Structure 1
């Protein structure tokens, strides 16, 4: 597979004639009992981006009979792949349901890269009627990326795939929540964070690649750390961190407050900044603890968030 972004699977001309059959064998991706559907990413508008996991992939294949599904393959060690995923999520949202984006973490779900024959990231592949359509490899300009999406829609239409997941007239399809996820949400609703943590941990023990459980656990741990903090206590936490810039627990506590308050960049920059300013063997334990914590914060914010992609680049520089 070439690393060049100039080898698209959907050509600029004659896209409607693309052959959708027999490109690769997806049968190795076994269908566990779960579904994938568009989710709300936190705002009032519907998000047409989901995570491609072992659980959700079979439903993504089925959905590709209604709309083309773009699979953005990424890895935490590749800032470029995170940037591509973020760009695709932004562009796909503008199509309001005519395209679905599936984010595929090849570290958590290596079978996905193997099935598509992808040798490296960034890479984007589409599914139309369950069949793969290679899009591009490497990082492209946003306008060029959008051109591939437009050509993909032509391929899809030529093969009878022209649905819209955002069609208001269509009957909404609710994705059933896995039992342990439901248990965790109910525990949060009744204020039992310990039970919610236990449910998410059990879900991860059963399926280590469960991205939603991983993010849920990180969110619950954040809630536990900030539970019961009133304004006076928060002020005291910030004052301590200002007085003790080399005290890691104090800096992590302020990062938690920033994240809860919606100051995402401040939270990420504080932890990454601590790592960057504390080199040397004597600080390795603190640096590792900070690294683990900032990865948790990434999970909470969302790996495709541009602020996370930027912070990952800064983290790589700080570590290496």
Structure 2
């Protein structure tokens, strides 16, 4: 190893490996002549600065000045971006070329690693409380769930999951105007979070899905005349308003099967919105999506 290479290794150990013992280090392999590197650089710098409180730092490695380091990481093209924790590479972030993609990947990593940082510590305290609110809301006690999310909001007013939980609780209580106001108050990056999209879908669906006084009579009418798609669509809305997602999905799937283009695909769109409200990661949604795919492509 040449003196220059040794100096580069010492600098890498000091600036990257040692900080990674307690923090998540984003390693950006770049070069002055690399156009894509110049485009990605500001994105990495902005997100790293935003995530500093969560224990994330950025280390930039100029491959022209640190060819030995780049060769050790088998960097064959640039930009190449890795994440290191405790001296080990834990993720390849090269595919994240937008701020949204990078944030999503970092959020996934930070949930899995014991990263130290002021926000990370606060995050660890909030997670069980948010989970409690979600559990209570899922059990149907929207009033208590709203109380829980209100209390959490005092500790973390800008947290997307908390704001979204409040919106969904207000929606479940039928307080749609308050839910809309709470939704409109969410700003910045939080407004683009998946949790907020889910809350927005829940409110939209709640306003569309009107309660039906006599579901049994409407169901009988729809069964007697399957061509009455308006009645079937109203039935699905009533079933959703009554909290019977199984029956609503069954009604909408049958509508898609019989006439997927009815009312510009309204049944399919309502079904997809129901999936979003329940949560795309939910096993029930996975099963229903497979049924929908079988109808559309089977």
Tell me the TM-score normalised to structure 2 length. 0.46
Higher gyration radius (CA): 2
Could you say which structure has the greater relative contact order, defined with CA pairs below 8 angstroms and 6 or more residues apart?
A: 1
**What TM-score, normalized to structure 1?**
0.43
Greater share of helix? 2
